[in-house]
Chains A and B, each alone.
Chain A
Amino acid sequence: MSISRIASLTLAVLPVLACKSTPGAEDTNDTDGTDGIDDMGECDVGDGDCEAAPRPGPTPIRRLTRVEYDNTIYQLFGDNSHPADAFPPDEEAGGFDNQADVLVVSPLLAESYLSAAEQLAATHTPTLMQQLPHCQGDSVDEASCEGDADAFVRSFGKLVFRRPLTDEEVGTYVELFARGTTLAQVPYSPDMGVQLVVQALLQSPHFIYRVELGMADPRAGDVVALTHYEIASRLSYLLWNSMPDALLFEAADAERLHDPAELEAQARRMLDTPRAHEAVGNFHRQWLHLDEIEPVILANGKDPEIYPEFYDGLPSLWRSETEAFIDHVVFEEDANLESLLTAPYTMMNEELAGFYGVDGPTGIGFTRVDLDPGKYAGFMTQPGLMALFAKPDRSSPIHRGMFVRETILCQTPPPPPDNVPEPPSVDESQTTREQFAQHAEDPVCAGCHALMDPIGFGFEHFDGIGRYRATEWGLEVDAAGELKGTDVDGTFDGAVELAHRLASSDQVKACVVSQWFRFGYGRYETEEDEDSIAELHAAFAASDYDIKELIVALTQTDAFRYRHAIQED
């Protein structure tokens, strides 16, 4: 991945905002952010399509990811054993592991579900039996015990299916319970009955998938609102990557989840819990490639002659630093996109402070440490990403430029040619920049590298393990760079200026919205989503680009609250 003979850059098409947001959204400054986004059905731009009906876009059925499975199991049983570690890996598309279209169930995965269900049922049935008092002891009255089983199926089944069971379903599972009582070594085993019920519930499509059938009556055209329980799951899997809690079940029971204001209140409540930190971390880990820092750097290593300070424990610290930084900005500071990109501080523990060569933090916990604002800006200049987008023996302006283009600007650079010339060997008489300047001269390389390298050169103050440097091989570092093909084109000097430039870019903001849309809804945006996208942009802008407000806004769109009625084939 480095150079291309293709001279023209195809920019990713940014969402076309055809249907403007409702009036008032843009001048909304009040902090509860309710203005302008709670009345989806109306739109006064004069576009008939807008007024007609909600436009929810496609709603492919979503299979639980491994992370979601494990989180859900934790909430159901208090089980922290991560049974999904044994599953085949989730299929990845567009950089995320939760894209509905590609998440499939192979025979191998079906068998994994079976094994996990059997294991979990065996482990947790003793505890669950407390819910069946009439099934305890030596002389169990089978009729009373079955009564308890009925109640258990209703209460526990509701948690597993994330909705109440129908009477028919209850009957099926109580029958399974009765059958199970006869399939153990003892003549009558309520324990085995419960085990089989739990096994079956955990393999049901109503557990493995997020089943969304919608309300019976269309709201307009073929569009139906999702049921209250379906929306409860949408909220919980968006904000927590896990199942609904008791308060969400309560709101669904009371049929309160068709009210956008209630959704917003729930979202704000949920954002204020530790589980939301996990979900926000999960998003950034995937979007920003933080999950690659350890495996990729450790697989390729760093040249010990050039970087004797590197050791295998560093990549884990680096990843933790960037994750802690993002968590801190989003949840402790202002959650502002500009802060993520430009904040002149980071998070360190004692060991990482040793790497940075600063005093202060003690112990293994990460605390905020202010940095020189003339040198550092946000997550991009942190060592994890700088070292990830580097070679074992030097920086890599190409990969750093690619990261900015692809990940931060959501643009797609053209492919490298099939025959990539060998890059120059490390030459201590030249800076990396000087060596790579040949890209600008070689006609095979120039066209495309003009789009990548000048951005990447901006990071030249950071070496192959992400340390700030004023000189390279005793030569002055030149970190002048240039942005082309963006809405913030122009020359800049160094990563700090670049970061501030990117923080002002509408393309970057649109990119963030698009990434959250894909992660939040488990799919790519479509033409039908232009209203939803426009609302997200409006809410994001109205909050001065507050990440938490963007997440709240994700709960307010047509894409979140509605679906097209299922068509009979």
Chain B
Amino acid sequence: MTLIRRCPMKRRTLLRGLGGLAIGLPLLDAMRGSLAHAGGSEFPKRFVVMYTPNGTVPKNFWPTDVNSETDFQLSPILTPLAAHKGDLLIVGGVDMLSAMAPNENGSSPGDAHQKGTGQCLTATELLPGNFIGGGGQSAGWAGGISVDQEIAKHIGQDTPYGSLELGVAVQAASVSGRIAYRGPGQPLPPENSPYSAYQRLFGDSLGEPLEIERRIARRQSVLDVVADDYGKLRGRLGGEDRDKLHNHLLSIDAIRERLDKAVIEFGDACQPLELGAMLDVDKIENMPIVGSLQMDLLAMAFACDITRVATLMWTHSTSSAVLSFIDPAIKDGHHALAHKGDEDTVKVHHNTLINTWYASQLASLIDRLKAIPEGDGTVFDNTVILWTNEQSRGNNHDRHDLPYVLSGSAGGFFETGRYVEFSGDTGHNHLLISLLHAMGIDADEFGNPIYGTGPLTGLT
């Protein structure tokens, strides 16, 4: 479906941001942004993944004083989420089975971190390749589509962007720094800069309406030629080269498709963002502010209905970032810290502080989504956030009992306020299938089905 919504501008608002530049944003009459356009009584569902690396500290993560599914105490790490306890579904006992398969004759390439990262949302083996991992292991990209992209295929069609990939100090351009995949070997890099992301999402809405219309026409003309070029060349290539051109063409088509969609209307909860002075997004000490801006942007993208699917990566697997902004006593890189033995109480404490800080970031993301009204409730009511890691603990690379937390019921699908434990070898494929179901997608399999089919029972 192609909607032409080029609308006359009513008024302008001055937006400060983008490195202190003052930029005029047009306010247009398109329906996008008001959230009112969702036909009927159903509000759109949204899906978010938050990824943090290097495992957690299990003894300080899992709930304590557990008397029943609903009667338990939050652990030190999850304490920042106390205000949202009734909205959490803490899922214990789920293993990343696909990422524990031994690499027999190249059947499951990669080291522990590579597998955990590339498989956390794909639940299938990595491709072979030359990304160098630990101990002589190596791997290529993930071997399948990620759950966020599967969801975007279904619910991302009506928004300008099918999905949004954001990062905070993700500094590995390899399998260790990617969780979202359009398909096997097709990683989606996260945008680390809120300034660039803002320009990307809203830049096309800048300018006088007539000029916007001409720009759309010019882009259309150029991209018609470009797309034709890719199509012709694709037909002359073979094998992987052809796939590569095909995937490139899909990206160009996505841009072309978006040209016809409305520019952004600011109004109600969809409001311009104050980005402040531009910071160096590669500096670890800026992570709190940059992360906060990325979450603002994510919430804004939902409020303006630019997208309904988002992933947010905090650094990357084996990140050596020294997160001393959390506590000046932290002097080791996160990965090195995560490797310290259980008997090293000081370092375990530091690692606990790091994971606690990440939990507080999740809490503030929830706060942001709860601040966006939708119908009688908020956008958060129609959202589920998956917090995932590539392993459960750093000092033995364990991928049993992943520290999964779901936040939000996705429109009443999940029964939250509970701590649910699964026993035996429960593969995380089941969890990803549950998430597909929560988004209204009918599926019995996801990833490699040998690690499990069907959803987790008892989450709804």
Contacts and interface: CB of A to CB of B under 8 A. Distances in A.
Given A108-B165, A111-B255, A420-B339, 7 more contacts: A99-B130, A104-B247, A105-B251, A111-B251, A206-B229, A213-B236, A415-B137
Contact of A183 (B189, B221, B236): B221
Given A192-B218, A204-B229, A569-B238, A524 B397 contact: no
B344 interface: yes
Interface string A207-230: 011010100000000000000000
Given A91-B173, A414-B135, A102 B129 contact: yes
B187 A106 contact: yes
Nearest to A208: B248
A151 interface: no
Given A94-B130, A183-B217, A569-B238, A86 B189 contact: no
Give the most central of A102, A176, A200, A211: most B CB within 10 Å.
A102
A205 B252 CA distance: 11
Contacts, number: 170
Interface residues of B, number: 62
Contacts of A566: 236-238, 241
Nearest to A87: B189
A205 B248 contact: yes
Interface of A: 1, 4, 6, 10, 60-61, 63, 86, 88-95, 97, 99, 101-102, 104-111, 114, 172-173, 176, 179-180, 183-185, 192, 195-196, 199-200, 203-206, 208-209, 211, 213, 299-300, 412-416, 418-422, 524, 566-569
A6 B137 CA distance: 14
B39 interface: no
A179 B222 CA distance: 10
Contact of B132 (A6, A95, A300, A569): A95
Contacts of A567: 238-239
A111 B135 contact: no
Contacts of A99: 130
A-B pairs with lowest CB-CB distance, top 3? A415-B135, A110-B251, A93-B130
B397 A61 contact: no
B136 A176 contact: no
Contact of A176 (B185, B225, B248, B397): B225
Residue with the highest number of chain A CB atoms closer than 10 Å, among B136, B245, B395: B136
A106 B164 CA distance: 12
Contacts of A92: 131, 173-174
Contacts of B188: 106-108
B21 to A, nearest CB: 15
Contacts of A88: 173, 189, 191
A173 B226 CA distance: 10
B130 A101 contact: yes
A332 B85 CA distance: 68
B135 A101 contact: no
Given A200-B222, A414-B135, A416-B134, A104 B238 contact: no
A313 B54 CA distance: 32
B446 interface: no
Interface of B: 111, 129-132, 134-137, 140-141, 165, 173-174, 185-189, 191, 196, 200, 214, 217-219, 221-223, 225-226, 228-230, 233, 236-242, 244-245, 247-248, 251-252, 254-255, 284, 320-322, 333, 339-341, 344, 395-397
B255 A414 contact: no
A299 B285 CA distance: 10
A502 to B, nearest CB: 21
A105 B244 CA distance: 8
B247 A105 contact: yes
A420 B230 CA distance: 51
A213 B234 CA distance: 12
Nearest to A91: B173
11 contacts: A10-B136, A61-B245, A101-B140, A104-B187, A110-B251, A114-B219, A196-B221, A205-B230, A211-B233, A420-B341, A569-B239
Which of A195, A199, A206 counts the most chain B CB atoms within 10 A?
A199
A195 B217 CA distance: 13
A6 B135 CA distance: 10
Contacts of B252: 110, 203
B218 A196 contact: yes
Contacts of B174: 91-93, 102
A213 B229 CA distance: 15
Contacts of B237: 61, 566
A138 to B, nearest CB: 22
B221 A180 contact: yes
Nearest to B282: A295
A179 B221 contact: yes
B322 A300 contact: yes
Contacts of B185: 104
Contacts of B226: 200, 203-204
Contacts of B236: 213, 566
Given A108-B189, A418-B395, A299 B239 contact: no
B149 to A, nearest CB: 11
Contacts of B225: 172-173, 176, 200
B324 to A, nearest CB: 10
